[in-house]
Amino acid sequence: MNFEAARIKMVDNQIRTTDVTSHAVLSAFLSVPREEFVPAGMKPLAYIDTDIELPAEPAGGRRYLMEPSPLAKLLQLAGISKGDKVLEIGCGTGYASAILSQLAASVVALESDAKLASEATATLARLGYSNVSVAGGDLEKGHAADAPYDVIFVHGAVETIPASLLSQLNDGGRLVAVVGLGNASRAQLFLHENGRTSERLAFNTAVKPLPGFRITREFVF
């Protein structure tokens, strides 16, 4: 299979057609080999316009490689620049981490699943993405050890954004996430300025959920 040709078609037919105009984002998607980040038996399907399930530990919940179109739109929304320090929440096998590495100065890729973290570390190193470091830990807690960050990208849909993540943003920092589950979810941009965080809705989308990040519901008598 000609993966380079498939990659170009993905960008032209799946990404450019959904209002992604950032040259930096488009170039990053053209340069990163998605086939290297999917399970071996699914390489021929690497460039289809859908989420791809990853071989995660069952106890941690199902994990997915986000489909290209919403991923590109979310990264464009983040407005990442070459000097930015980025935290990715839920890096999976490292595909989005590799794309982020082309947009930012450095990337901390946080992963709670040990198997996925190990695979991401090996693949990113083998392909030469040297400005990405993979860290293990609870996704909802973020990675305070390397905070603050200019951008935090949440790789999957969540019900809520914990204060612990927002507190790890630099002044002027942005957090991008899909908030809500199923077809009712929306991409949101959170901006942290002068000790306060504002948010705005960006666009409707539906992506696979990231385990955890659930709203605590109180029991009412």
What CA–CA distances, in Å, run from 163 to 77, 151, 169, 177, 203? 21, 15, 10, 14, 23
- In the prediction, which pLDDT does 221 show? 55
Higher-scoring residue by pLDDT: 68, 217 = 68
CA distance 143 to 110: 7
Total domain count for the chain? Answer: 1
Amino acid, res. 108 = V
Tokens of 125: 């190193």
Average pLDDT over residues 42-60: 90
Amino acid, res. 158 = V
Asked if the structure places residue 220 within a domain, the reply is no
Residue-wise pLDDT for 127-141, tens only, equals 999 999 999 999 999
Asked if the structure places residue 217 within a domain, the reply is no
Tell the residue number behind the tokens 């306060």, with chain if given.
196
Asked if the structure places residue 209 within a domain, the reply is no
Average pLDDT over residues 188-207: 94
Asked if the structure places residue 11 within a domain, the reply is yes
Asked if the structure places residue 183 within a domain, the reply is yes
Asked if the structure places residue 106 within a domain, the reply is yes
Mean pLDDT of the chain: 94
- In the prediction, which pLDDT does 214 show? 84
Asked if the structure places residue 39 within a domain, the reply is yes
The CATH number linked to 101 is 3.40.50.150
Tokens of 29: 């998607």
The pTM score is 0.94
Helix (H, G, I), strand (E, B) or coil at 169: strand
Residue 77 domain boundaries: 3-204
Asked if the structure places residue 34 within a domain, the reply is yes
